Amino acid sequence: MNYSADMHRSIEYVEVHIGEELTTERIARHAGYSLYHFCRVFQACMGLTVMEYVRKRRLSLASTKLSSGRRLIDIATDYGFETQSGFAKSFRKEFGYSSTQYAERMIAVRDYIASNSDFIDTGGLSMIPQIVSRPAFTAVGYGIPTHISDGRFTRDIAAFWNRYDTNGWEEKLYNQLNPPKHGEVGICVPDSRDQDSLIYLFGVIVENKTRVTLDMMTLEVPAATYAVFTTPPVDVTAGGRNGRENQEDFPQAIRRTWTYIFREWFAESGYEYDESKLDFEFYDERCHFRADTLMDIYVPVIAKS
């Protein structure tokens, strides 16, 4: 499956219907994807959520009309904004000044499509994953419900990772559950109670569930064939880049790897994403403040027919 081409077709659909009521569900349905899978793939390829892209594109197009003499409310309505005040607020947030200032100064148009025609830079990544078969396993840990279509889930997950160590969750997982091996998993799963939500689980792999407490989440991960990608090594030690800790580069390496997987690898691999299974991230001793910090991404795959 060529995910990059599918996302381009989705963008073309947005372009045709830019002035209409667009929702993530509508765009996903046109693309032939489930809502959950479409949101994951779009963000991996584009680096932003579906509706963030729609909002940026609408503002970019509207900005080209500001010097036309038309009323601001008419321009706002043409590009899907219900009120003039809502448009003005979004415009200032995006461009840093008011729509009136923009028109008066005749600032060059910011065209999001032109500046991002090649999607997000993957940093020249080229990697050959291992194809492995892994039996079913049980993951137990802590989870947060979050939305997948409005951009909050990435911020929520980042906040979750900041909180778990403060709350002592990692230590509690190991002391209480006594997993057979060291290593944490990060797994996103659809929320059965709300199709627009997902649960992000941070946990460990266990063989015995007798010590699981009510504040924990248990997830049965089915057996699957995976393409296993290892992220490029990043130095996050105090002696790293510029002589100081550079932990921000590690999430960036993870994001670039996800982008590479959906933008490039699938198109040439002979495999398709197995939507009946779960992908997950695996963190072990290799990601603990090392000069070569890295982790593994497990992507469930099936051979193309």
Q: Which tens digits make up the pLDDT trace of 46-82? A: 878 898 889 888 888 887 777 677 888 888 888 888 8
Confidence grade of residue 100 (pLDDT, cut at 50, 70, 90):
confident
Average pLDDT of the segment spanning 208-221? 92
Dist. CA 38–CA 53, nearest whole Å? 14
Residue 170 confidence (pLDDT): 81
> In terms of residues, how long is the chain?
305
Which domains occur in the chain, in start order? 3-115 (1.10.10.60), 130-303 (3.20.80.10)
pLDDT of the residue at 167: 67
Q: Is the per-residue pLDDT at 208 higher than 80?
A: yes
131 band by pLDDT with thresholds 50, 70 and 90: very high
| CA dist list (Å): 261 to 1, 32, 134, 228, 242 | 12, 20, 20, 10, 30
Q: How far is CA 163 from CA 1, 144, 158, in A?
A: 37, 11, 9
Quickly tell me which residue has 């002589």 as its tokens: 243
* Calpha distance 66→235 (Å, rounded): 47
In terms of DSSP bridges, do strands 271-273 and 296-303 run parallel, antiparallel, or are they unpaired? antiparallel
Higher pLDDT, 149 or 31: 31
Judged by average pLDDT, the poorest of 36-40, 97-101, 201-205 is: 97-101
| Mean pLDDT computed over 153-163 | 51
Instruction: Give residue 301's pLDDT.
Output: 95
